[in-house]
Chains A and B, each alone.
Chain A
């Protein structure tokens, strides 16, 4: 056999030299290919960056901070009875355990982007972006914890932990305040990297306004403690002192991918996708039925029905007509808040004024309280474009212009309920006020004997973070500040 081998090789060398050469070429090609590492080095997605531009992520987070206010309000509007479903027994209306996984996800999605903005700002040393990130984190986190109480934060957002633990809601509240303080410090520094004005949907790069927003948020958060022993009216008023003084300073989104999201609901409704129907409670608070006087602002919230008047829908009861015959009131694109180009407010001057009124009253400073109370209503009237005559007529009503000696917390809460229209903070107020609004009714076929106080955790947390998520015994369970 040995002999054969040798002989064969020589044969091939002679007879099949071409063949030998081609095999060698193939062999070379094989080895050559393996050296071609570049050929395989194509696993970087050509469609997307691994690091965003700092202003690009600022654009996303400022836009979504506005939208998250809308998303949270689109839940709480039913609880504070600004809205009522056009369908009977709508689960949200009647306090069923509704799965708000999407709302939760969108809040956390935006907080994740804010987290990245913060990290990018630290990495690039941009103080302005860092300050904005911290303020926005406080806004989004406070929205979240005021709906659900204990929520993940310290182990959340970074992606380092597969199942983030739940942080205590009171600690998160404190954390929000700290974030605002830290944000203010950064925003006061001279910026190192320019904020593209068009990328800042809230303040167009105006740091002074950002600082005012931070103080306004601080005032709101400190005021939320009204039922707790930690409440200090002095602290609230101190924050108010540096908060908004003019409507121009307000944090609001005015440019959208399409249009104001309330306008989308209004347009859907007009095209028969029924949505954004107003509750009997808000309508009766303004149309004269409950208090005997008509609030001129109602004409800026909604349109009249085919009867020429304003009618609400009872929560839980559903609509009376077909849904197409203008039997009841809903948001329309004629409304101030629901016009196509209407701004979407994060926090407003009138809210700050009402916070001031409440804190001053609690601090027994009736004069400051009354001034702020009138200023709050006035600011709101002016914003909605109510004529000065109508505004002043309203302010002169005995029930409104009560005089500083007669101003009470129920009056403040009653009037604040109007100025907070479509704000998720209205639900915090309602809970602080124990829903003691005159004429406030439980929804028809309510599943709870008392008004709702919190949300159940979303199904995504229950199934994917089951080791940490907490059981909510009843939706009447109160959050830590809601004593």
Chain B
């Protein structure tokens, strides 16, 4: 009950307004901005009291003063506060200056606009212009490179493909580490649902991709624990608070946006062009136009001599298999209203055809939101958003794998016969797969949100929000049966044809009550206090019916399947929280904020379902406290500690269950089989301890400034589904499995080197360094495997947690090093030591695979991230560009492994060369043995069997855990706004602008595969160390037009 005492105290504080009544007089005035435009909804407060009014649409206000009250404080979002002495006047005209650091306002928890100076934590706001600059259809991708501490990876360039966002490193293992998305005060679903038909490999959308970026006014990225503590455990990975566009009082406004873009794969792997199809047999290399091996045959010239149908050059089959993509977005926004009622509506249509054949995505979006002032004290904000999205998604992992088996001697684009049968020389044609092994999702989503704000007194607001986020996702996977006639080679992925129908219903209900009170104690002391209650109820319903073995081969319906199995699942998760916070301000320079929250979650063991956690933060605006030199315009120190308790967002982990053994009754009996996951009866919540200090400074009248943060985050009792050997009778155990730590530095620098009437140059740069490590693991655990991926000769890579090592550690087989008298710890990769070269045996003269040890070969979590954006405005032109850099990050390139194993990689062109490998032989003497790299018997008469690449190179993970750092020109945008005087003639058009944009125009990376930003795993997955067979990244070009009526 200790927790409730604080709450009660806060609530009783709410009941203590401070005001006095005496004789009154009236003051009226008009508020305008620097351009003379009226500022509506500015708050006019009588200094030292709670008495306040709001200016109307024309910026006019009227307020009653009593006794000796003589000072008004006028504040409005985005402007600096102004203090006006009205002791000798009853009418004032006030001009507000556009926001500077002191006046800057940030949307924080529960959509509350707070002065940035009072925050004891790091927060960054992104506006609509910045979001729209990149033309990224997925909102998450639109923030790439713009915010320190935020790592965003599009998982690939596929239409509608999910994007991954992690703030200040991963903190949890079971959870997805994605921040919480809150739109207009209501939590919305950003899950990536990967159920049904191998959807985990199909680049499914994260649900935020449903949102039209153009509907968004601003996004606040709250990074630190103290910022997000009020949201409860869902906020443990940071919170992104989205404010949508709303109408402005006055005339009706109509705005139309259209963007058209084309795109192409931005990076292909380098392929060899010398050797063609075939392999080795009977001591020689042979050519065969039907051989499984795509590129281990003789030279093109030699093959052409044997086979006149052989093309003059072999294809670059990777480049050949992809095509040009395009996208088109239309948004129409209509808004208007008066002081009593404001309505904003928008409609948009987006369609996208991907670079991988037969992949696409479309999105219809209709949205209406309103502000209705029911009375002076009661405001009602309903909003409703309907979205239809989805498209054809192909399994890019399978596509690229099949493409690697495909011989470049054959044109992969020639994929089917006239009657629609699979056309191939032998191996699966991946393009046939893209057309005849399809998967389509069709999402209907309704986001509705009602907010009621009751302000019985000017110091008190009571608001209630009810949000319902309902998603219906219909997925369908189909493959026709095979056309079985002589000469047709089957397409291996479509056995006898199949149909899968998947129905996913997800309902997120969110109820949220907030009571806010503002108090002044005398002239200097202020108190903002809030108390609240929220409930989240998530209902998830999954149903699948799968049919296989089609009767009529081309009829892909369940009615045509010989075998039908079904599965259904309903899950429910409830959480509830009560919370309170209080910010005590002293004389506008010192702010102390305390928060406390108690969460109740259904997903942990019943004895552990209630948990409390506090936070404290302090902001000290020293530039307000002391007189600073003129060149310092702003300075603030901040520090915070926050603890956040985290319950798993997945229910039913506290028991071990039994599943239906057969998927249907057999022999009239339901079989039962033990589930692969062992539940934890004592599952506890995780706790994340966040420590943060920061310094914000602005100089030279806000022309230059910086914001630096140092943080350390310790995540304890991290819940994990720990993979275990199947001999345990399970594949994984749910465990409170250990502790990981993230610490780092974030630095944001802003500058305006030039600002005059015609020309402005603005620079924003951000830098992040993050280090993480596994601090400890639960008893009985030596390591926790997060994910692994196959590589030939056991050269797969495993991402796992090992104590003392980074959480993104990638492990695998390395080359054996010569240690001499040094000891080998069997984990560290000693690149400084010479390679040990075999001096005996049939691999003498070659480096040695160290197959007995799994060494740390890389880290999937970047050590450094940088973003630099520049914006030049000259009269009506604006040119912006954003460089995005990442360093100290590695990824396993499975594609590279296959390109070695199948002789596709450019470097395998040296296969008929001799080489003396750099290194030493046992004993330490330098290696001098000359070896041939090719297969079979070399010119030296020695039998080299399968050759260097297949015997050794492909079996060494070290060769394929590659530097995935990059420097890229993320975005370049040129826009032109028509001058007002030109438009004045048209009468109707109020504004118009044209934009030309390029994304990913330039990329520099040592990574040899596709764009290393991509991932083999879906968004929301912690397995981010694998970037081989991914949907390739794209370079895109857009033209856009925006017209306002």
Q: CB within 8 Å of B: which residues of A?
A: 1, 4-5, 8-9, 12, 16, 19-20, 22-23, 26-27, 29-31, 33-34, 39-53, 55-57, 59-60, 63-64, 87-88, 101, 104-105, 108-109, 111-113, 115-116, 151-152, 156-159, 161-164, 196, 198-199, 201, 255-258, 267-268, 270-274, 322-325, 459-467, 471
Contacts and interface: CB of A to CB of B under 8 A. Distances in A.
Contact of A26 (B489, B513, B662): B513
A151 to B, nearest CB: 7
A259 B347 CA distance: 53
B533 A48 contact: no
6 contacts: A5-B16, A19-B460, A26-B533, A164-B727, A271-B484, A462-B794
Contact of A324 (B4, B487, B533, B576): B487
Nearest to B794: A459
Contacts of B495: 268, 271, 273
Contact of B728 (A29, A44, A159, A267): A159
A120 to B, nearest CB: 10
A196 B671 CA distance: 12
B658 A464 contact: no
A12 B578 contact: no
Given A55-B669, A59-B669, A162-B733, A43 B651 contact: yes
B3 to A, nearest CB: 10
A33 B513 CA distance: 13
A198 B671 contact: no
Given A87-B292, A464-B723, A159 B670 contact: no
Interface in B170-216: none
A16 B728 contact: no
Contact of B669 (A8, A199, A267): A199
Contact of B661 (A59, A198, A258, A463): A59
Given A50-B658, A324-B484, A271 B496 contact: yes
Contact of A323 (B17, B489, B798): B489
A324 B675 CA distance: 41
A318 B853 CA distance: 35
B28 interface: no
A161 to B, nearest CB: 7
Contact of B667 (A51, A255, A273): A255
Given A255-B667, A271-B482, A463-B798, A63 B727 contact: no
Interface stretch (B65-73, B595-603, B888-896, B998-1006): B595-603
Given A159-B730, A162-B781, A43 B533 contact: no
Interface in B1-52: 4, 7-8, 11, 14-18, 20
B568 to A, nearest CB: 7
B132 interface: no
Contacts of A274: 490
A460 B732 CA distance: 12
A332 B496 CA distance: 16
A108 B852 CA distance: 26
A9 B15 CA distance: 7
Interface string B865-881: 00000000000000000
A101 B790 CA distance: 13
A156 B496 CA distance: 38
Interface in B727-754: 727-731, 733
B828 interface: no
A48 B669 contact: no
B486 A324 contact: yes
B725 A461 contact: yes
Contact of B671 (A22, A63, A164, A268): A63
A201 B667 contact: yes
B11 A23 contact: yes
B514 to A, nearest CB: 10
A226 B304 CA distance: 59
Contacts of B785: 463-464
B496 A268 contact: yes
A162 to B, nearest CB: 5
A267 B484 CA distance: 12
Across the A-B interface, give the 10 residue pairs with the lowest CB-CB distance, nearest first: A272-B490, A112-B729, A52-B672, A60-B661, A465-B725, A60-B671, A56-B672, A59-B671, A152-B727, A48-B657
B674 A113 contact: yes
Given A48-B658, A59-B666, A156 B571 contact: no
Contacts of B4: 31
Nearest to A152: B727
Interface of B: 4, 7-8, 11, 14-18, 20, 292, 456-457, 460, 462, 481-482, 484-490, 492, 495-496, 513, 515, 521, 533, 535, 549, 563, 565, 568-572, 574, 576, 578, 600-603, 606, 609-610, 651-652, 654-659, 661-664, 666-676, 678, 722-731, 733, 780-782, 785, 788, 794, 796, 798, 852, 854
A451 to B, nearest CB: 21
Contact of A108 (B600, B727, B788): B727
A272 B482 contact: yes
A115 B661 contact: no
Nearest to A55: B669
Contacts of A47: 568-571
A462 to B, nearest CB: 8
Nearest to A20: B15
B17 A464 contact: no
Nearest to A321: B486
A199 to B, nearest CB: 5
A56 B571 contact: no
B603 A43 contact: yes
A258 B481 contact: no
B530 to A, nearest CB: 13
B11 A27 contact: yes
Contacts of A5: 16
A53 B651 CA distance: 24
Given A8-B17, A271-B484, 6 more contacts: A52-B658, A57-B658, A157-B727, A267-B549, A271-B481, A274-B490
Contacts of B671: 56-57, 59-60, 63, 199
Contact of A156 (B15, B668, B728): B728
Contact of A159 (B485, B563, B656, B723): B656
A49 B658 contact: yes
B578 A30 contact: yes
A257 B658 contact: no
Given A63-B662, A161-B728, A324-B484, A16 B578 contact: no
B292 A88 contact: yes
Contacts of A271: 481-482, 484, 490, 495-496
Given A44-B652, A258-B563, A460-B725, A325 B663 contact: no
Contact of A257 (B492, B651, B666): B666
Contacts of A57: 658, 671-673
A322 B489 contact: yes
Contacts of A324: 484-489
Contact of B666 (A51, A116, A256, A464): A256
A323 B487 CA distance: 9
Contacts of B667: 59, 198-199, 201, 255
B471 to A, nearest CB: 20
Contacts of B672: 49, 52-53, 56-57, 59-60, 113
A42 B574 contact: yes
Given A59-B666, A59-B669, A323-B489, A164 B725 contact: yes
Contacts of B600: 34, 40
B898 to A, nearest CB: 16
A162 B489 contact: no
A49 B657 contact: yes
A39 B725 contact: no
Nearest to A270: B484
Contacts of A52: 658, 672-673
B110 to A, nearest CB: 16
Contacts of B496: 267-268, 271, 273
A172 to B, nearest CB: 12
A30 B489 CA distance: 67
